[in-house]
Amino acid sequence: MAMEKFNAAEAEDRLYKAWEAAGCFTAGANAKPGASSYCIMIPPPNVTGVLHMGHAFNNTLQDILVRWHRMRGFDTLWQAGTDHAGIATQMVVERQLAETQQPRRIELGREKFLEKVWEWKERSGGTIVNQLKRLGASCDWDRTAFTMAGAQGDTRVGHENSPNFHDAVIKVFVEMYNKGLIYRGKRLVNWDPHFETAISDLEVENIEVAGHMWHFKYPLAGGATYTYIEKDEDGSITLEEERDYISIATTRPETMLGDGAVAVHPTDERYAPIVGMLCEIPVGPKAQRRLIPIITDEYPDKDFGSGAVKITGAHDFNDYQVAKRGGIPMYNLMDTKANLRADGLPYAEQATTAQRIANGEESFDVAKIAAMNLVPEDYRGMDRFEARKKIVADITAEGLAVIENFTVTDAEGVESTDRRPLVENKPIMQPFGDRSKVVIEPMLTDQWFVDTTKIVEPALEAVRDGTVKVLPETEKKVYYHWLENIEPWCISRQLWWGHQIPVWFDASGAQYCAATEAEAQNLAGPDAVLTRDPDVLDTWFSSGLWPIGTLGWTGDAQTDAQNDMLQRFFPTSDLITGSDILFFWVARMMMMQLAVVDKIPFNTIYLHGLVRDAKGKKMSKSTGNVVDPLEIIDEFGADALRFTNASMASLGGVLKLDMQRIAGYRNFGTKLWNACSFAEYNEAFQHRSDAMPSPELALNKWIIGEVGRVRVAVDAAFDGYRFNDAASALYAFVWGSVCDRYLELSKPILKGEHSSGAAGRLETQTTLAWVLEQSMTLLHPIMPFITEELWGITGTRDTMLVHQDWPSYGLELIDEAATIEISWAISLIDAIRSARAQMNVPAGAKVPLVQVQNDAAGSAALAANMAQIQQMARITEVTIAAEMPKGSITVSAPHATFGLPLADIIDVASEKARLKKNMGKLAKELGGLRGRLNNPKFAASAPPEVLAETQANLAAREEEEQKLSEALARLAEIV
């Protein structure tokens, strides 16, 4: 009786609960005595997160490796956990407070607000963990870590195995501070005006928007003039005029108020006469307008705009570097909400002081300069974009906008020349906060930094010397580029949710860094009044300590030496993560672990790209192509999604998620299920044995050899992180070798229609059961649910499949003689089937076969497998002839020639007409496809996914053309 259909929705939940209840995922589960350790650290998803396709892909690969090592008896740990996600979590809780009409964050105060965050964490913070379980992730959930574990207010319960992560973070900060690796300084950072905090580059989305470039005149000081000359490529003068200004172009006029200089390229001859002179910023009260120098620097592009660039060091990252090189003052114009500043002394007084500094009459004091407000009273407190409009209007009204001539045509078609301010409408790349969705402002602020130049070299050397392997190899260049050009790492955030920076200040501003306030007070003295820095650490700082922090590192040598988990699993083994966080997380973990414990954090880094849609387009809500992995699991089951993920995980390949592939791999699972149902119907599992069969029949010897062959291929693929190769090998083996070949070839034997009789039937039943058990075992790391279900219902076992020993057999199982024999029979069957399909022979028609030539081995293979060949190829009989019978087509097998007499079975003329008609239609399609691809305009302008799709269509049509040509050639044989 056939087994009931596999119900993924019911079975997946039941099986996962059974695994958990049995402790199958606990660190060290199924480990053999003295086994080597294997540890993967999960890239901690945000505690606010929900499962997306990137998570599903990444965690599938991790789970495959973990299950594979666990079955092989390694001392295995897949460390789970979540990141506290400073900005994201604070945003979620603040939004919730607003929706429920509770007091706002500021009204609650820091302590009460953090209580609300912890309440939310307990209530909703485990969503993504439960979603990962639906995927089948076999993490040690009892050890689920959290990057804020142990911090003040931690209300978590039931996490006895989760280490105190907070204390580890604070200890590292204090140690690095005391070593001079962490310092406080004023630098330019990405500033989010909505959240009023610095953010990392990873949290910035650069989006192309419609923009404007305004051209303004900066008058030369004292009414000075010069001859401005432009030349063409041949050196001929195209423009010559006297100017009393230098022209600059800007997309952000509101920042002009903070200009410190105008820069031109050293080789730009147009401005050579005025380099070193002063020019006037053309905005603000006339009497207090500042004069700034015209300098040279390699940064300006002579061929872009006017070739002159205003240098506003406090509001542009490129300008910041020029200002640092040139000792140019950097004036901060905005407050934390990106409004123009309204604080400080009157503008006239501040402008006078700034001019004295520029003239060298007052000392260049960075702190003093940063505190100065050079925003005129008319603009103070204005929104930055409203100020932009007013500044443009004021400059234009004064006649200091560059003017261009343009042609107008009246109603009668008469042309005339008019003049207008030069404003270019052009697309610009604008930075937005990925969560706030507001325009990010480069801002000069006091922040805490890691002096990465002092800790970067060991991280570089570990990859250079091969101690740590990076896959694919191409990602090494990216790694080197990031770290060889590293900047100080801004680790402070102006938030409340996070690890509060352990530094206190006294009334004079002196710093006292300590793990606790009491320790800081001891450093400062009993009479000092201390105030703690309100900022928190960037989440990348705490997650940079993920490998040691999750394993309970304390920094105390004796305690850490007695920490069994730390000693067993650190350094960890493999890191599987996205290439987009190679610098932000992976490289920083390398630097931090080497700086703190002088050990690498992992041996191998496997990096993958973004999961894209079937056409290779990036998934986004705006384009409507986002795929929810939970919906896929609901429709197709977790195994189908996991197999799809594995099948597209080629090293460095583009990850294209095709729903048809997912449906196909669900069918693959059904194919395995039906094979087991077939075996059950034929009583194979009643004769199962834990021992490997020792068959006599070539068919059974052959399939056992194929099992050994695929085991070697799968292990080699997993060992080389070629998940797609493992999936491909298993698919070809289960669907092709087992289901399409072995099961079909075994039917006559199982029906008792084979010369081997009852002994052959018993041997085949035993072999079939063993082969299917091996199939379940080898497939388990990729498709754990359906294989575990089959394992449980097809026999009484000592252990669940998740803890079944991984097989160690290999190519020694191959019986060469049996392989040659069965391969010969299969090749003949395939050749006959192909010929029948090409000639459009009715499926139910049985055809005689004529042997024209065959050697001894082929004749023996034919005789031994006659029943199978007759059944699978729909052959009535085999006769021997010296020549090919008239009206036959040729069919070949190794060292053998056969004929299929078809003249009386098919309408040859009708078939020729059908094939020629199809060839004609195909020729038109091929012409169109080749025409598109040979068109240079199409090749140059078509999106990559369209080009790839067209090339794939051409290849498919050319293959079809070849098959039709072969079929016509076969028909020509029939005369």
pLDDT in the model for residue 891: 87
Distance CA 220, CA 240 (A): 18
Query: 783: which 2 tokens?
Result: 């498709």
Distance CA 86, CA 117 (A): 11
**Mean pLDDT, residues 16-43 taken together:** 97
User: How would DSSP label each residue in 884-944?
Assistant: PPTTEEEEEETTEEEEEE-TTTS-HHHHHHHHHHHHHHHHHHHHHHHHHHH-HHHHHHS-H
Supply the Cα-derived Rg of the chain in whole angstroms: 37
Distance CA 518, CA 360 (A): 45
| Distance from chain centroid for Cα 725 | 20
Closest CA to 900 of 886, 918, 915: 886
Query: 602: which 2 tokens?
Result: 């992992």
pLDDT in the model for residue 416: 75
Q: Is 93 helix (H, G, I), strand (E, B) or coil?
A: helix
pLDDT in the model for residue 754: 86
Contact (CB, 8 A) for 858 and 827:
no
Task: Mark residue 626 as left, alpha or beta (left: phi above 0; alpha: psi -120 to 50; beta: remaining).
Answer: beta
| Distance from chain centroid for Cα 756 | 55
Q: Is 468 helix (H, G, I), strand (E, B) or coil?
A: coil
Q: Grade residue 527 by pLDDT with cuts at 50, 70 and 90.
A: very high
pLDDT in the model for residue 938: 80
- pLDDT tens readout for residues 350-361: 999 999 988 888
- pLDDT tens readout for residues 620-654: 777 788 899 999 999 999 999 999 999 999 998 88
- pLDDT tens readout for residues 481-498: 999 999 999 999 999 999
Which alpha helices (H) appear in 408-556, and where do they start and end? 456-464, 475-484, 517-524, 539-543, 546-549
**Mean pLDDT, residues 797-801 taken together:** 94
**Mean pLDDT, residues 911-932 taken together:** 79
Distance CA 498, CA 448 (A): 15
- pLDDT tens readout for residues 533-544: 999 999 999 999
Place of tokens 């596999």: 6
- pLDDT tens readout for residues 404-439: 888 777 777 777 778 889 998 989 999 999 889 999
Task: Mark residue 616 as left, alpha or beta (left: phi above 0; alpha: psi -120 to 50; beta: remaining).
Answer: left
- Residue 145 CB-half CA count within 13 A: 26
- pLDDT tens readout for residues 818-845: 999 999 999 999 999 988 888 888 888 9
Distance CA 94, CA 116 (A): 9
Question: Percent of the chain, pLDDT > 90?
Answer: 77
Distance CA 32, CA 70 (A): 10
Contact (CB, 8 A) for 686 and 750:
no
Contact (CB, 8 A) for 530 and 520:
yes
Distance CA 540, CA 518 (A): 27
Q: Grade residue 729 by pLDDT with cuts at 50, 70 and 90.
A: very high
Does the pLDDT at position 2 exceed 70? Answer: no
Q: Grade residue 794 by pLDDT with cuts at 50, 70 and 90.
A: very high
Place of tokens 């407050």: 335
- pLDDT tens readout for residues 851-885: 999 999 999 999 999 999 999 999 999 999 988 88
Contact (CB, 8 A) for 847 and 876:
yes
**Mean pLDDT, residues 923-937 taken together:** 83
Query: 556: which 2 tokens?
Result: 């105390």
Does the pLDDT at position 911 exceed 70? Answer: no
Closest CA to 475 of 606, 600, 585, 575: 606
Contact (CB, 8 A) for 900 and 834:
no
Q: DSSP code of 582?
A: I
- pLDDT tens readout for residues 375-395: 999 999 999 999 999 999 999
Contact (CB, 8 A) for 216 and 279:
no
Q: DSSP code of 308?
A: E
- pLDDT tens readout for residues 113-159: 999 999 999 888 889 999 999 999 999 999 999 999 999 988 876 56
Distance CA 738, CA 703 (A): 8
pLDDT in the model for residue 585: 95
b/e sequence 224-237, b meaning 16+ C-beta within 10 Å: eebebeeeeeeeee
Contact (CB, 8 A) for 671 and 736:
no
Cβ-Cβ contacts under 8 Å for 708 (sequence gap 6 or more):
809, 810, 811, 812, 813, 814
Q: Comparing 373 with 614, which gets the higher pLDDT?
A: 373
Question: Percent of the chain, pLDDT > 70?
Answer: 98
pLDDT in the model for residue 437: 92
Distance CA 395, CA 843 (A): 85
Among 178-182, 294-298, 901-905, the least confident range: 901-905
Distance CA 193, CA 340 (A): 12
Closest CA to 633 of 260, 5, 131, 195: 131
Query: 944: which 2 tokens?
Result: 């990559």
Q: Is 248 helix (H, G, I), strand (E, B) or coil?
A: strand
Distance CA 516, CA 201 (A): 31
Any bridge partners for residue 212, and if so which?
425
| Distance from chain centroid for Cα 823 | 42
Cβ-Cβ contacts under 8 Å for 304 (sequence gap 6 or more):
none
Q: Comparing 163 with 522, which gets the higher pLDDT?
A: 522
